[in-house]
Amino acid sequence: MSTVTTPEISLTPERSTRTSLRSRLQDALPKIVLAPSFVITLVFVYGFIIWTGYLSFTNSKTFPSYAITGARAYQRLWRWTFESDPPSSWYTSITNMGIFGFLYIGICLGLGLFLAILLDQKIRGEGLLRPIYLYPMALSFIVTGVAWKWFLDPGLGLEQTLHQWGWTSFHFDWIKNKDFVIYTVVIAGVWQASGFVMAMFLAGLRGIDGEIMKAAQIDGATTIQLYRRIIIPLLRPVFLSAFIVLAHMAIKSYDLVVALTSGGPGGSAWLPSNFMYEYTFKRNEMAVGSASAIIMLMTISAIIVPYLYSELREKSR
Amino acid sequence: MSAIVSSGTAARRSNGARMFNRVVIYGLLAFFAIVYLMPLFVMLVTSFKTMDEIQNGNMLSLPSAPTFEPWVKAWGETCVGLTCAGIKGYFWNSLKMVIPAVLISTILGALNGYVLTKWRFRGHTLVFGMMLFACFIPFQSVLLPMATILGSLGRFGITLQNATGFRFGFGNPTVNLVLVHVIYGLGFTTLFFRNFYEAFPTELVKAAQVDGAGFFQIFRRIMLPNSLPIIVVTVIYQFTNIWNDFLFASAYAGTGESMPMTVALNNVVNTSTGVVEYNVNMAAAMIAAMPTLLVYVLAGRYFVRGLMAGAVKG
Amino acid sequence: MAFLEISGLRKRFGSLEILKGIDLELEKGGFLVLVGPSGCGKSTLLNTIAGLETITEGTIRVDGRAIDDLHPSKRDIAMVFQSYALYPNMTVAGNISFGMEMRGVPVEERKKAIDKVAKVLQITHLLDRKPSQLSGGQRQRVAMGRALVRDPKLFLFDEPLSNLDAKLRVDMRIEIKRLHQATGTSIVYVTHDQIEAMTLATKIAVMRDGEVQQFGTPAEIYNNPKNLFVADFMGSPAMNLLTATIEGGGNDLHVSLLRPEAEPLRVPVPQIGGLAAYSGKQVIFGIRPEALTDPDGADRNAKSLFEGDCLIDVVEPAGSDTFAVTKLGGKEVVARLRADARIAPGQTARLAFNLDKAVFFDPQSQQRIG
């Protein structure tokens, strides 16, 4: 193609001076078709975010109140951030978020890459194994939660099974332990998402130019060197997209905590999303709930906005 | 890339070492396969056991006398909150919500993707970027305003009923959820179709224009008939997401007759009255998981492609 | 009045000007080729003629009627695309008749038209197939069939041969030429391949950066390039363009060309208006490879032949000809010799310069001198 391609190339005639009303309507048709979706997004996403932001500066309790009363909700959250003994719900939520986010993302990436590399060794039965690693992604967090709740239950699940098999000293009651319950959320979360990360890495591995690897082999690289020095660095874009997906799933996780732990003993498994829901709908602290939602949004935006910006800018070149 | 056939040193290695390597690789793969299958296996066997066997037997053992009783009970008799009519009603609720929501959001996404790639206008990237960002927001940040709006719609419905004798669906929780899922699914469906149509040859559109086809004719006769793969991907992605949603469902239809499946399941499992019937719980969970698992088994390829498309943005 | 008239045509995207005032015309039944490197605006120009892109200024007239505000389907044009743009979901027959269907032509009439075109292009046996079941050449034919069936006033071709392999490209090129001779329809054809341009066109417009560099018959373009760009772009292998200094004056005007391991070569140049004024200054001396050959193979009718010894660097026997590379004026120069010319790398060979065909350019303005 020899056209000078610019992002603005359009098939729509822009000159309307000499055209009739009918053809002007024709020209506007694409925009008319897109408009409802865009307006819906503007109102129901951006408008609502502003609305929530507004509510966080009021003293709304059970019902919204629209008199601005300042940043009290944020001040309270700030104070709670440092209230570690006894921990405030907010303190628990954000520490859990840190633990969960770090482990969930880290383990999913590690395990996903590991499985992908194993599967990439010309495995017979790959077609059978891949779907096995991936199926948890089709399940809802609620079903995942129910399954693991049962599996991790000290009286019924894994612990009891091992006792029956004779390992009577085995002790595993994290799901009932307020200090460890968040780790069970990590386990269930990793189980659900790591297969998906594996699929992303596998696609990435399959996309690597085979000639690069032949060249590395001729240069005398061992298998481990090949992966460490050539292949894994080439997978950088996959790491990035997987990180983005996992990070936004981690911050949005709400259902899993509810279904797996019902919030854990004394709310000890809460994530900020649970905090928001509880404070808004159960504890009648709408302003605080809104403030926490805004903080969640800011956190995600800090990750997503630069990513989307660079992606879209690249694309329009 | 397909496996390292034999690296310089590996070629020199003995056959025994190679064999050992393969055994370790297959062993690890099998181990992880068992780990991933375990929860599903436990759920499945438990759902066919009697309560007696559950309390006295081993979690991993196969049911000694398989019984469908728990499934029957979960479907038709178990208590969700205070009503004890099984989960079947909620299963249908979910279906009634999912089908229209998936159809509407897919059609809108296809049209949006078509406009954003083949009928570009100044600022199309910004419009797309803004719709795309909506995919990532934590829904907590719109939960409350949406509740307020749905509340007003409900009141409007009552007014409408008083005036005309008919509510036109205003305030109906299922209709509400369809609306919510269409709105917050638009970003994803638009993304899917935009990326697909981005690679769709623009010359076809030009050729159709020269042939005299208009905006909708091109969409219907040229674009749609060639979009089957992305339609399948989008439908599966939306179906899975909406069926599995819990946050919106519990916020806007968290009680009463119109709960979707996920909320009902959570209620079944967390009902504190009486003896906890684990086998019934597991059967209920299996029923809740069935539609998405079925989709996964039947169209796994498209399912994965959808997840990937959702992952590699822009 | 010309059949196709493009006057003062401009196209802007924001501040970026893609077409900077194009003026072209084509006689009825003519074959206009728009040629240029990628990004020169030739496809954009074609798209504006088709109505697929709007124009910012100027007019396009076909047969005396301004068409620049008409929808593409109302312009009585047909277009063949680079990728052929066959609708993958329709059969060959469906592809050919889609335009008629859109215009509401009755089924019976459509059938007749399809059959007629299919016969002309010998694709009758393919009518029920889908495009994915066709070979590249067959797809090309179907794309032409879709254009032919409209019986348009003007055919537009957008690099229709660039997706074909070398041999098929030559076949299809001949086919297009035959089609043009048979139907006599006016054609506008975009390509970046200057051989296609030379072989097909009755008129060529060489474009660069949104401007027409030269507009004329193939012979004019080839023999009398207006500027350095046209000289360099048209012809394969490309014209040798050497920096040289004009020396002498009056009847003894010559250029001196540096050559390795020898005195500079003094080549006398013919009396070209304006060239004398460059005495003592640098010019660009252009000579096509076929005007630089072995003495026995030189054009006997040439008025001014000059022979000089050159050190041969590389020899490329190409079967029909032998190409020799030598260094003159600090640049590599390609000479085109007869296939059996006796020549070896590292040796000095005598080459004949046909100075009738030599051209000179001003190094600053890059325009032709004289």
**A46 lies within 8 A of chain B by CB:** yes
The confidence band for A15, taking pLDDT boundaries of 50, 70 and 90, is very low
Q: Name beta bridge partners: C266.
A: C256
The answer to the question of residue B290 being in a domain is yes
Q: Name beta bridge partners: C284.
A: C243, C361
Percent of chain C residues past pLDDT 70, beyond the cut: 100
Q: Which B residues 160-189 touch A at CB under 8 Å?
A: 183-184, 186-187
Cβ contacts of C190 on chain A, cutoff 8 Å? 2
Query: What is the spatial order of strands in the sheet that C282-287 belongs to?
Result: C265-268, C252-257, C240-249, C282-287, C359-361
The answer to the question of residue B226 being in a domain is yes
Q: Pick the last residue of a domain from B48, B75, B102.
A: B75
Q: Pick the last residue of a domain from B52, B75, B98.
A: B75
Tell me which chains share at least 3 CB pairs under 8 Å with chain B.
Answer: A, C
Q: Provide the sign of the torsion angle of the four alpha carbons C134, C138, C142, C143, taken in this order.
A: positive
Cα distance between residue B88 and residue A275, in whole Å: 32
| Residue A39 confidence (pLDDT) | 95
Cβ-Cβ pairs closer than 8 A, B with C, add up to 60
Contact C194, C234 (CB under 8 A): yes
Least confident piece of the model among B295-304, C35-44, C171-180: B295-304
| Residue A35 confidence (pLDDT) | 94
> What domain range is B304 assigned to?
81-311
Question: Using the 8-state DSSP alphabet, how is residue C19 labeled?
Answer: E
Among A150, A196, A304, beta carbon nearest to B136: A304
Local structure of A167: helix, strand or coil: coil
Residues B136 and B52 in one domain: no
Lookup result for tokens 């959250």 = A77
pLDDT at A167 over 60: yes
Least confident piece of the model among A106-110, B149-153, C273-277: C273-277
pLDDT (tens digit per residue) in A56-95 = 998 888 888 888 888 888 988 888 888 877 888 888 899 9
Q: Name beta bridge partners: C256.
A: C245, C266
Write down the H helix ranges in B48-119: 51-56, 69-76, 88-118
Cβ <8 Å between C38 and A1: yes
Residues B48 and B120 in one domain: no
pLDDT at A3 over 70: no
Find, in chain C, the residue whose alpha carbon is nearest to that of B204: C85
Q: Are strands C211-216 and C65-66 parallel, antiparallel or unpaired?
A: unpaired
| Residue C15 confidence (pLDDT) | 84
Among B7, B112, B134, beta carbon nearest to A222: B7
The answer to the question of residue B149 being in a domain is yes
Q: Pick the last residue of a domain from B75, B92, B107.
A: B75
- A68 Cβ contact partners less than 8 Å away, ≥ 6 residues apart: A54, A57, A58
Contact C250, C268 (CB under 8 A): no
pLDDT at B77 over 90: no
Residues B71 and B169 in one domain: no
Lookup result for tokens 């998906």 = A196
pLDDT (tens digit per residue) in B101-139 = 999 999 999 999 999 999 988 889 999 999 989 888 999
Cβ <8 Å between B138 and A297: yes
Q: What is the mean pLDDT of residues A113-124?
A: 90
pLDDT (tens digit per residue) in C217-231 = 999 999 999 999 999
Distance from CA of C39 to the nearest CA of A (A): 5
- Residues C285/C286/C292/C298 CA torsion (nearest 10 deg): -100
Domain count, chain B: 2
Residues B64 and B99 in one domain: no
Among B108, B209, B289, beta carbon nearest to A143: B289
| Residue B29 confidence (pLDDT) | 93
Cα distance between residue B117 and residue B218, in whole Å: 13
| The pair of three-digit structure tokens given for residue C57, joined into one six-digit string | 């200024």
Cβ contacts of C81 on chain B, cutoff 8 Å? 203, 206-207
| Residue A10 confidence (pLDDT) | 42
Cα distance between residue B280 and residue C161, in whole Å: 68
Lookup result for tokens 């505000």 = C69
pLDDT (tens digit per residue) in A34-61 = 999 999 999 999 999 999 999 999 888 8
Query: What is the spatial order of strands in the sheet that C211-216 belongs to?
Result: C77-80, C154-158, C186-191, C31-35, C203-208, C211-216
Cα distance between residue A255 and residue A261, in whole Å: 10
Contact A6, C13 (CB under 8 A): yes
Cβ <8 Å between A45 and B134: yes
Cα distance between residue B157 and residue B148, in whole Å: 14
Distance from CA of B307 to the nearest CA of A (A): 8
Domains of chain A: 72-315 (1.10.3720.10)
The phi, psi pair for C90, rounded to 5°, reads -115, 155
| Residue A245 confidence (pLDDT) | 84
Q: ipTM of the predicted structure?
A: 0.84
Among A12, A49, A143, beta carbon nearest to B288: A143
| Residue A48 confidence (pLDDT) | 95
Residues B27 and B118 in one domain: no
Q: Provide the sign of the torsion angle of the four alpha carbons C250, C252, C253, C256, taken in this order.
A: negative
pLDDT (tens digit per residue) in B1-40 = 444 444 444 445 567 888 888 899 999 999 999 999 988 9
Residues B59 and B92 in one domain: no
Q: What is the mean pLDDT of residues A251-272?
A: 85
Query: What does the DSSP assignment read for C60-90?
Result: EEETTEE-TTS-GGGS-EEEE-TTTT--TTS
Residues B118 and B265 in one domain: yes
Percent of chain A residues past pLDDT 90, beyond the cut: 26
Cβ <8 Å between C79 and B208: no
Neighbours of C97 (CB within 10 A): 25
Among C42, C54, C190, beta carbon nearest to A13: C54
The answer to the question of residue B3 being in a domain is no
Write down the H helix ranges in chain A: 21-41, 48-55, 72-81, 89-119, 126-134, 141-152, 158-164, 181-206, 210-218, 223-225, 232-234, 236-252, 255-261, 272-277, 286-315
Cβ <8 Å between C87 and B203: no
Q: What is the mean pLDDT of residues C285-298?
A: 90
| Residue A14 confidence (pLDDT) | 44
Distance from CA of B1 to the nearest CA of A (A): 4
Contact A288, A281 (CB under 8 A): no
Among A6, A10, A18, beta carbon nearest to C69: A18
| Residue C1 confidence (pLDDT) | 65
Q: What is the mean pLDDT of residues A6-31?
A: 60
The answer to the question of residue B158 being in a domain is yes
- A123 Cβ contact partners less than 8 Å away, ≥ 6 residues apart: A129, B25, B26, B29
Cα distance between residue C96 and residue C138, in whole Å: 13
Cβ <8 Å between B210 and C73: yes
Find, in chain A, the residue whose alpha carbon is nearest to that of B265: A142
Q: Name beta bridge partners: C155.
A: C78, C187
| Residue B272 confidence (pLDDT) | 63
The confidence band for A229, taking pLDDT boundaries of 50, 70 and 90, is confident
Cβ <8 Å between A52 and B141: yes
For the domain that residue B113 is a member of, what is the CATH number?
A: 1.10.3720.10
Contact B4, A213 (CB under 8 A): yes
Q: What is the mean pLDDT of residues B204-216?
A: 92
| The pair of three-digit structure tokens given for residue B111, joined into one six-digit string | 């049209």
Cα distance between residue C41 and residue C357, in whole Å: 30
Residues B230 and B271 in one domain: yes
Contact A123, A129 (CB under 8 A): yes
Cβ <8 Å between A11 and B206: yes
Query: What CATH class is the domain C4-225?
Result: alpha beta
Cβ contacts of C82 on chain B, cutoff 8 Å? 203
pLDDT at A157 over 50: yes
Contact A269, A93 (CB under 8 A): no
The confidence band for B286, taking pLDDT boundaries of 50, 70 and 90, is very high
pLDDT (tens digit per residue) in C294-350 = 888 888 888 888 898 888 999 999 888 999 999 888 889 999 999 888 888 988 889
The confidence band for A282, taking pLDDT boundaries of 50, 70 and 90, is confident
**A162 lies within 8 A of chain B by CB:** no
Nearest to B295 by CA among A134, A22, A258, C227: A134
| The pair of three-digit structure tokens given for residue C286, joined into one six-digit string | 């252009």
The answer to the question of residue B147 being in a domain is yes
Residues B59 and B22 in one domain: yes
Nearest to B96 by CA among B284, B255, B232, B261: B261
Q: What is the mean pLDDT of residues A168-184?
A: 83
Nearest to C185 by CA among C343, C29, C19, C351: C29
Cβ <8 Å between C38 and A2: yes
Mutation site for A-interface testing, chosen from C18, C35, C54, C157 by largest number of A Cβ within 10 Å = C54
Cβ contacts of B203 on chain C, cutoff 8 Å? 81-83, 85
| Helix or strand run (H / E) with residue C253 | strand C252-257
Among B25, B33, B139, beta carbon nearest to A121: B25
Mean pLDDT, chain A, rounded, equals 84
The answer to the question of residue B2 being in a domain is no
| The pair of three-digit structure tokens given for residue B158, joined into one six-digit string | 């009552």
**A316 lies within 8 A of chain C by CB:** no
The confidence band for A171, taking pLDDT boundaries of 50, 70 and 90, is confident
Neighbours of A85 (CB within 10 A): 6
Q: In terms of pLDDT, which residue wins out, A7 or C31? A: C31
Cα distance between residue C265 and residue C287, in whole Å: 15
Q: What is the mean pLDDT of residues C7-33?
A: 92
pLDDT (tens digit per residue) in C137-174 = 899 889 989 998 988 899 999 998 888 888 888 988 99
Nearest to C95 by CA among C109, C85, C107: C85
Cα distance between residue C121 and residue C131, in whole Å: 16
Cα distance between residue A191 and residue C295, in whole Å: 82
Residues B18 and B33 in one domain: yes
The confidence band for A316, taking pLDDT boundaries of 50, 70 and 90, is low
Local structure of C257: helix, strand or coil: strand
Asked: is C240-361 a CATH 2.40.50.140 domain? The reply is yes
Start-to-end CA span in chain B (Å) = 25
Mean pLDDT, chain C, rounded, equals 90
- A251 Cβ contact partners less than 8 Å away, ≥ 6 residues apart: A97, A101, A272, A273, A296, A299, A300, B138
- The greatest distance separating any two alpha carbons of chain B, rounded to the nearest whole angstrom, comes to 88
Cα distance between residue A30 and residue A25, in whole Å: 10
**C79 lies within 8 A of chain B by CB:** yes
Cβ <8 Å between A4 and C44: yes
Distance from CA of A316 to the nearest CA of C (A): 15
Residues B252 and B147 in one domain: yes
- Residues C62/C67/C72/C78 CA torsion (nearest 10 deg): 0
Cβ <8 Å between A244 and B278: no
| Residue B274 confidence (pLDDT) | 66
Among C83, C85, C89, beta carbon nearest to B226: C89
Mutation site for A-interface testing, chosen from C35, C49, C68, C69 by largest number of A Cβ within 10 Å = C69
The phi, psi pair for C200, rounded to 5°, reads -95, -35
- Residues C184/C186/C190/C192 CA torsion (nearest 10 deg): 50
Write down the H helix ranges in chain B: 8-12, 15-47, 51-56, 69-76, 88-118, 124-136, 140-164, 173-198, 202-210, 215-217, 228-244, 247-252, 261-270, 278-311
Question: Using the 8-state DSSP alphabet, how is residue B123 labeled?
Answer: T
Q: Give the distance from CA C15 to its chain's centroid.
A: 29
Give the domain ranges of chain C.
4-225, 240-361
Cα distance between residue C223 and residue C356, in whole Å: 10
User: Residue A20 burial by CB count (10 A; 0-12/13-18/19+): exposed, middle or buried?
Assistant: exposed
Mutation site for B-interface testing, chosen from A14, A66, A146 by largest number of B Cβ within 10 Å = A146
| Residue A4 confidence (pLDDT) | 36
